Structure 1
């Protein structure tokens, strides 16, 4: 999917919760298939910091950072992405109605694949 379409879709979802389903598909798609790690991280961070409490894309942003960490061609995440993933996981553990528990799964992947313990 062209990056311009990804950006448009994710920005729309951040303004209008009715577009979150499509945004979820796009976010997972780039996490699994895009070859630009900075682009993936940027949009996971944007979604993870700008989506409203209770939005399913919050937990998904954390999960997608985990998917990104699992990709052997990348092998790292930025400090900003690591901090966000940890924060989203903590929020999910404290209140799954705020951030769904997929964020915990994503942070577990990050710790496993980037050897952060």
Structure 2
């Protein structure tokens, strides 16, 4: 008998749900797993670039060192750059900062931040 793992992208949720979930996770790491799905769903499917970018920046600047949400915020900035073709200067600077931290210490920011920066550079033509 073969079992197949399936993956599905989380959906974009209403903004009030996103804000509440992310704020809870930023205040209590026990809520990080739920927040990860919410952030990814927004980055992949929400049509409000400013909202998505704002919450990627909030998570990427407010999550504690070692939180998996830091690398994920960098990755989601890459998704946002790919989908919309632009990011604010603040978001680009954060993508670079998170990637630099990941290069120095993967226990601070995980390597997904490096993948996110690659996408930011590629889709915003910052090479």
TM-score bucket (shorter structure) = over 0.9
* TM alignment of 1:1-117, pairs within 5 A: 1-71=13-83, 74-117=84-127
What displacement does 1:105 show? 0.2
Q: Which runs of 5+ in 2 are unaligned?
A: 1-12
Q: Which has the larger radius of gyration?
A: 2
Looking at structure 2, the residues matched to 99 and 75 of structure 1 have their Cα atoms a distance apart, in angstroms, of: 25
Give CA-to-partner distance per residue, 1:67-117, whole Å, 9 cap, x none.
01111xx21000000000000000000000000000000000010111101
TM-score, structure 1 as length reference: 0.97
* Structure 1 match to 2:6: none
Aligned residues: 115
| Structure 1 unpaired stretches of 5+ | none
Distance 2:89 2:108 in 1: 23
- In the TM superposition, structure 1's runs of 4+ consecutive aligned residues that sit over 6 Å from their partners are none
In the aligned structure 2, how far is the partner of 1:27 from the partner of 1:21? 10
After superposition, the C-alpha distances for 1:14-44 in whole angstroms (9 at most, x for unaligned) are 0000000000000000000000000000000
Q: TM-score, normalised by structure 2?
A: 0.90
